[in-house]
A and B are shown apart, each in its own frame.
Chain A
Amino acid sequence: MKVERRIISVIVQNEHSVLARITGLFAARGYNIEALTVAPIPDSDMSRLTIETRGNVRVIEQIIKQLHKLIPTYKVIEHEEMIEKEMVMMKFPINESLSSIQALCQAYNGGIANVSSQHIITMVADEPKRVKHFIEAAQRFHPVEIVRGGVVAMERE
């Protein structure tokens, strides 16, 4: 069976150790977490997790069912087509390429977030694939640090 990448969103009751339940489930059953983001949903007692995972059809189906089975899980959202975004921050030494870096960031929905005497920090938010391209392209400016934020996703409809 073919292994594919999937984005799964999980809405959970915001309670003690709920994140441990979810990561524990993945660990115990040998499922893969490529990326994970969590934040509370405004004006509710729920949180939303977005999990990027890999597996064949049977594994993905099991992941969804097992997530559902957890008592604090309210909803599991899984679509082939989700609007996905990922954020990345990169730190570069300040030198003559400043304007090139800025142009590159702008091409990927981003810009310069902070400038200190030694470094600039850029921020880009885009589709995961484009973020990957951006990181590749930015290598020529010798980044000293990269922080990826993990994927967030929303259903189109």
Chain B
Amino acid sequence: MEMTGAQMVIEAMKLEGVDTVFGYPGGAIMNVYDEMYKQKDFKHILTRHEQAAVHAAEGYARATGKVGVAFVTSGPGFTNAVTGLATAYMDSIPLVVISGQVPITLIGTDAFQEIDATGISRACTKHNYLVRSASELPLILKEAFYIASSGRPGPVHVDIPKDVTAELAKFDYPTRVDIPTYRPTTKGNVRQIKKAAEAICRAKRPVFYLGGGIIHSGSAELVREFVKATQIPAVETLMARGTLRHDDPLLLGMVGMHGTYQANMAMSEADLMIALGPRFDDRVTGKLSEFAKHAKIIHVDIDPSSIGKLVDVDYPIVGDLKEVLGVMIPKVKEQVDPDRYQPWREILKRYNEIHPLGYEESDKVIKPQWVIERVGELLGDDAVISTDVGQHQMWTAQFYPFSFPRQFITSGGLGTMGFGFPAAMGVKRARPDKISVNFTGDGSILMNVQELVTAVESRLPVINIILNNHYLGMVRQWQTFFYEKRYAETDLSFQPDFVRLAEACGGIGYRVETKDEFDEALKDAVEKGVVAMIDVVVDRNENVLPMVPSGGTLYNMMLEFKD
């Protein structure tokens, strides 16, 4: 059947089962928007900035595991989307982002709103395409969805010149793809898995190092089974939060720069590290030469380039975690003796007793950690939690009682301020049954605050909880610790009236200075089901602790800070 390139894009969305596209129209993508106008198969959500469109698509993808989709126009439309692509790339999030481009006849002439989009996105996508003719489009779109969601997931960018969207060609959408140059290894090497299983049963002080790959591969259930059967303690990275239930006695908490004492000590003193889908990020490992010095390492990852990139691995296993665990768990179960690790568990328990995760309460001012715990008590499993980036993000990761995978939506690798609100809109769209909460800071929220309009218009009732310390808090914390309190440009005392800002856009705002006010505000926002901003005035000088200073060793944590 013959159709235009623009029609092909719309048809492909239908055939891929896309129910939501986030985006922003403009000159070069107008043909696509015109075709979209004529259909009812999917809904388009008009964000008020292209960056937010991509983050919203990410939120959608992170909450469901499905491919998130965004449409943007050429030039500035595309460059605005780049931060979203980079955010998704660092966290391995499946996206297809389609951008308009100037007509092929004008490419290379510095035309109006022309930019070398694929040249830019090459560095921050899993793959990208510049479409040369409408006849290529069906295959390219099919490949884009396939590449985004298979292997190690990631964003794929498709740049379509305007004349291609008008060009007629035969539309024959492939039912399956076969790319001879792209065949991710999913089955792990059985002999290697067997060796790893034996090492687990032989170890005295093993620890599970759980990474984001567990969430992406949908293997959290298997990991829970694995941990339960072996009774081996586990640490989670930021991206793996929610793999184990927060009340699992074997969960040692988050690992890394702001990890718990027991988690970081477990990593430092283990004799075997069972790394399932993490990437040994510097925020986790600290100083590499001291990292897991006494441990043999098993590393399971679908991306071979992740294995051995930073740390030498003794048992490298390339494969899809689900498949690998399917083989590994029965092998371990055959021979494992969970009692064997009892003394090790005792040691770690002792560590936790000495230095548990906590904070000092106050009756004068709200502590930011209290807010997070309180939301956990009031909403718990009913909420999906997004964050922006900074202190509030770390406190959320530390203190929220996560219970299921994909409950925590955060920009880990790139650390993108402005991510949280649009992502939480994507979450709400994907999971209307859940309460979508965005923990944010007074710095981060302003980086995509225009999305108040989108959220209200598109009826995506996100509850933004601003932990307002009138500082760019995380940078302020570093200045306190490492820059002799020279607070260069981090005092955010001058700020908008967030209540009126929310109201100006059709949402509802609350200013909160006491715990009672907070409870009331949250309950009201949940009941009303509208877009909300809860501006919580919190302790200005609270620090995120424990902290492993950048480049420091994991077992050398700052546990308190006294002036």
Q: Is the CB of B181 within 8 A of A74?
A: yes
Report if A62-B305 is in contact (Cβ < 8 Å); known contacts: A71-B181, A74-B181: yes
- CB-CB < 8 A to A13: which residues of B? 181
Q: Is the CB of A17 within 8 A of B122?
A: yes
Q: Is the CB of B122 within 8 A of A74?
A: no
Q: Does B180 contact A (CB under 8 A)?
A: yes
Q: Is the CB of A65 within 8 A of B305?
A: yes
Q: Is the CB of A73 within 8 A of B181?
A: yes
Q: Does A69 contact B (CB under 8 A)?
A: yes
Question: CA–CA, A73 to B127, complex, Å?
Answer: 12
Residue of A nearest to B306 (CB): A65
Residue of B nearest to A28 (CB): B123
Residue of A nearest to B308 (CB): A61
Q: Is the CB of A72 within 8 A of B118?
A: no
Q: Does A6 contact B (CB under 8 A)?
A: no
Q: Is the CB of B181 within 8 A of A20?
A: no
Q: Does A2 contact B (CB under 8 A)?
A: no
Output the least CB separation between A21 and chain B (Å): 6
Q: Is the CB of A16 within 8 A of B130?
A: yes
Question: CA–CA, A21 to B128, complex, Å?
Answer: 10
Q: Does A58 contact B (CB under 8 A)?
A: yes
Q: Is the CB of B181 within 8 A of A16?
A: no
Output the least CB separation between B121 and chain A (Å): 11
Q: Is the CB of A17 within 8 A of B123?
A: no
Report if A20-B305 is in contact (Cβ < 8 Å); known contacts: A12-B181, A74-B181: no
Output the least CB separation between A41 and chain B (Å): 13
Residues of chain B in range 103-132 having any CB-CB distance to chain A below 8 Å: 118-119, 122-123, 126-127, 130, 132
Residue of B nearest to A16 (CB): B130
Question: CA–CA, A155 to B502, complex, Å?
Answer: 67
Q: Is the CB of A16 within 8 A of B132?
A: yes
- CB-CB < 8 A to A21: which residues of B? 122
The listed residue (B181, B304, B305, B308) touching A72 by CB distance below 8 A is: B181
Question: CA–CA, A156 to B308, complex, Å?
Answer: 29
Residues of chain A in range 29-59 having any CB-CB distance to chain B below 8 Å: 58
Most buried by A among B119, B180, B305, B308: B305
Q: Is the CB of A71 within 8 A of B122?
A: no
Q: Is the CB of A20 within 8 A of B122?
A: yes
Q: Does B488 contact A (CB under 8 A)?
A: no
Question: CA–CA, A74 to B179, complex, Å?
Answer: 10
Output the least CB separation between A128 and chain B (Å): 28
Q: Is the CB of A68 within 8 A of B180?
A: no
Residue of A nearest to B128 (CB): A17
Question: CA–CA, A140 to B127, complex, Å?
Answer: 51
Q: Is the CB of B118 within 8 A of A17?
A: yes
Output the least CB separation between A85 and chain B (Å): 27
Residue of A nearest to B129 (CB): A16
Output the least CB separation between B549 and chain A (Å): 25
Report if A58-B308 is in contact (Cβ < 8 Å); known contacts: A16-B130, A73-B181: yes
Question: CA–CA, A16 to B122, complex, Å?
Answer: 12
- CB-CB < 8 A to A68: which residues of B? 304-305
Q: Does A149 contact B (CB under 8 A)?
A: no
Q: Is the CB of A71 within 8 A of B182?
A: yes
Residue of B nearest to A27 (CB): B123
Question: CA–CA, A65 to B132, complex, Å?
Answer: 30
Output the least CB separation between B373 and chain A (Å): 41
B139-181, CB under 8 A of A: which get 1 and which 0?
0000000010000000000000000000000000000000111
Q: Is the CB of A71 within 8 A of B179?
A: yes
Most buried by A among B118, B122, B179: B122
- CB-CB < 8 A to B123: which residues of A? 24, 28
- CB-CB < 8 A to A66: which residues of B? 305
- CB-CB < 8 A to B303: which residues of A? 69
5 closest A-B pairs (Cβ-Cβ)? A65-B305, A71-B127, A74-B181, A71-B182, A65-B304
> 17 extra interchain contacts, Cβ-Cβ under 8 A, other than A13-B181, A69-B303?
A16-B130, A16-B132, A20-B119, A28-B123, A61-B308, A62-B309, A65-B305, A68-B305, A69-B304, A69-B305, A71-B126, A71-B127, A71-B147, A71-B182, A72-B181, A73-B181, A74-B180
A–B complex contacts, Cβ < 8 Å, 26 sampled: A12-B181, A13-B181, A17-B118, A17-B122, A20-B119, A20-B122, A21-B122, A24-B122, A24-B123, A58-B308, A58-B309, A62-B305, A62-B309, A65-B304, A65-B305, A69-B303, A69-B304, A69-B305, A71-B126, A71-B127, A71-B147, A71-B179, A71-B182, A72-B181, A74-B180, A74-B181
Chain A residues in the interface with B (C-beta under 8 A): 12-13, 16-17, 20-21, 24, 28, 58, 61-62, 65-66, 68-69, 71-74
